[in-house]
Amino acid sequence: MSMFCFQCQEAAMNKGCTVKGVCGKVEEVAKLQDLLIYSLKGISELVVKGKINAAEISEVNHEVLRSLFITITNSNYDPEAIQKQITKMMSLRDGLKAKVGVSGLHDAATFKAETKEAMLEKAASVGVLATENEDVRSLRELVVYGLKGIAAYVDHALNLGKEDVSINTFIYEALAATLDDSLGADDLVALTLKTGEYGVKGMALLDGANTSKYGNPEITEVNLGVRKNPAILISGHDLTDLEQLLEQTKGTGVDVYTHGEMLPAHYYPAFKKYDNFAGNYGGSWWRQVGEFETFHGPILFTTNCIVPPKSEEVEKRIFTTGSSGFPGCPHIVPDANGKKDFSAIIEMAKKLPAPEEIETGTIVGGFAHNQVIALADKVVDAVKSGAIKKFFVMAGCDGRMKSRDYYTEFANKLPKDTVILTAGCAKYRYNKLNLGDIGGIPRVLDAGQCNDSYSLVVIALKLKEAFGLDDINKLPIAYNIAWYEQKAVIVLLALLYLGVKNIHLGPTLPAFLSPNVAKVLVEKFGIAGIGKVDDDIAMFMA
């Protein structure tokens, strides 16, 4: 076996990718990512055993977040970038070691690998399969994937100048725990829930960072058509990158369109002042194959999800920044003040044709907590009068598998007196279906990006209060969540931590859940998969 990865929903045969990732990740990248994670575990052990205060090692904190983010599915395909990051982490680790002088450390805290060859050789023995017991392996990976999700959110908050060191402290504790052979299944299940707790903290931190800088999302109609100007397409989740791009393109005659998870940026008041912020182009991440061709202009990836481009013509128009990377594509780094120079992208845009129209019309979104709570009376009345029978939380990710047609059919067949609460790129399976409204409340309420699942939680807690209930599970809310990558894992763990029961997860249950771990999740939390649309709707409505 040349590599092993089973962290996302597209893991080959729902077991694991062993030759090349279904996502396009090659063996070299997979192995370097394994070694990068291993180096973080070593740093974490050192921090925990050396009783190092996370508040005093901010550079290490930030680089750990960045490293975790780099390994998220579809983020970074560039072996050189990952190799450089491993070298950086080993050097930060050795710097810490020199300061605190702890002995008896795990190999992860002491290994050396200077060349890429040495790294690949080392990586062969430190990946996922290095943990032999499949239940321990399953729980350790569940925690690590949850941490990757937290890191992504906290990294965005950090770009906005907000951090919470207690989250970094927890990340060290949890990563160190994955090296500790004395911890059994019960300890690791408890750690999983604690990861969910910090997931809530991380999402709340990012929510506060986004809304304090850009305002509270408000109901917004987003244009799906195109204008006649040359343009740049921005994808991923980072709003600070978008802000800088809008500032730098202002008055240049170059428009900016969002793709995939950047769509919810249109809901923030702060971005409405830019006349060249033209609309959203296309659908969710995997539709970039095809949509990037007709877009014609340059594309900026701020985070995942990158699909390795099929043509050289498209590849030449791709730029990356932040945690994302693709070999051969220019990667834009910030200066000491966090400023990024996007002039090369803007210059390229000016020389290329305007985007080709692939659809017309608008979609409506912006139903984050503040906006929904402003409508709370209307919503509560609609539930009390029976106009709304049930809410369906259908947040999460999208993916290219045919089985995801389930979610379009499910949304289409839901009774007309139900409302879908969504966030993340899962929404693209039904956000253009025109499902109508209930007394002015649209039947699809989009809160925003996957991290805005936090908004859905705030809304649920508010409704619980409004109805005077003592348990979130007594609300007329069902959870039918689509997952793909590790940010969905932290959303799931956050919901479990908050006590939400009977979450349905699809289109398949994670390959990294061993039969015993899956059994615990079923017994303790009522987690279930999905079945046939009609049967599932009947079950949810019963």
Residues near ligand SF4 (CB under 6 A): 5-8, 10-11, 17, 21-23, 25, 73
- Considering the complex, what minimum distance in angstroms separates the CB of residue 86 from ligand SF4? 18
Distance CA 155, CA 487 (A): 13
- Considering the complex, what minimum distance in angstroms separates the CB of residue 423 from ligand SF3? 8
Q: Tell which residue, 403, 384, 340, 391, has the closest CA to residue 367.
A: 391
* 488 is an interface residue for ligand SF3 by CB under 6 A: yes
Give the per-residue contact string, 217-256, with ligand SF3 (x = CB under 6 A; - = no). --------------------x-------------------
| Cβ atoms of residues 494 and 453 within 8 Å | yes
Give me the sheet containing 331-332, strands edge to edge: 277-280, 255-258, 231-235, 299-301, 318-321, 331-332
Partner interacting with residue 6 (select from ligand SF4, ligand SF3, none; CB below 5-8 Å by kind):
ligand SF4
Burial code of 307-344, b = ≥16 C-beta within 10 A, e = fewer? bbbeeeebbebbbbbbbbbbeebebbeeeeeeebebee
- Considering the complex, what minimum distance in angstroms separates the CB of residue 18 from ligand SF3? 22
Whether the CA torsion 329, 335, 340, 343 is positive or negative: it is: negative
- Considering the complex, what minimum distance in angstroms separates the CB of residue 18 from ligand SF4? 9
* 425 is an interface residue for ligand SF3 by CB under 6 A: yes
Contacting ligand SF3 (CB under 6 A), which of 485, 490, 512, 533? 485
Partner interacting with residue 60 (select from ligand SF4, ligand SF3, none; CB below 5-8 Å by kind):
none
State which residue has the least CB distance to ligand SF4.
21
Query: What is the full DSSP assignment across 460-504?
Result: HHHHHHHTT-S-GGGSSEEEEEE--SHHHHHHHHHHHHTT----E
Q: Tell which residue, 537, 475, 463, 469, has the closest CA to residue 504.
A: 537
- Scanning 19-27, 82-90, 430-438, 481-489 for contacts with ligand SF3 by CB under 6 A, the matching segment is 481-489
Q: Tell which residue, 323, 37, 64, 71, has the closest CA to residue 170.
A: 64
- Scanning 329-337, 341-349, 412-420, 479-487 for contacts with ligand SF3 by CB under 6 A, the matching segment is 479-487
Partner interacting with residue 11 (select from ligand SF3, ligand SF4, none; CB below 5-8 Å by kind):
ligand SF4
- Considering the complex, what minimum distance in angstroms separates the CB of residue 236 from ligand SF3? 7
Q: Helix, strand, or coil here: 321?
A: strand
Partner interacting with residue 425 (select from ligand SF3, ligand SF4, none; CB below 5-8 Å by kind):
ligand SF3
Determine how many CB atoms are found less than 10 A away from the CB of residue 201: 19
- Considering the complex, what minimum distance in angstroms separates the CB of residue 364 from ligand SF3? 20
| Cβ atoms of residues 271 and 265 within 8 Å | yes
- Considering the complex, what minimum distance in angstroms separates the CB of residue 301 from ligand SF4? 16
- Considering the complex, what minimum distance in angstroms separates the CB of residue 541 from ligand SF3? 27
Distance CA 338, CA 332 (A): 11
Q: Helix, strand, or coil here: 121?
A: helix
- Scanning 12-20, 316-324, 428-436, 480-488 for contacts with ligand SF3 by CB under 6 A, the matching segment is 480-488
For ligand SF3, the binding residues in 285-314 under the rule CB under 6 A are: 285, 304-305
* 321 is an interface residue for ligand SF3 by CB under 6 A: no
How far are the Cα atoms of 240, 258, 324, 496 from residue 199, in angstroms, in the given order?
21, 26, 22, 11
Q: Which residues of the shown chain bind ligand SF3 in the complex (CB under 6 A)?
A: 74, 237, 260-261, 285, 304-305, 397, 424-425, 449-450, 484-485, 487-488
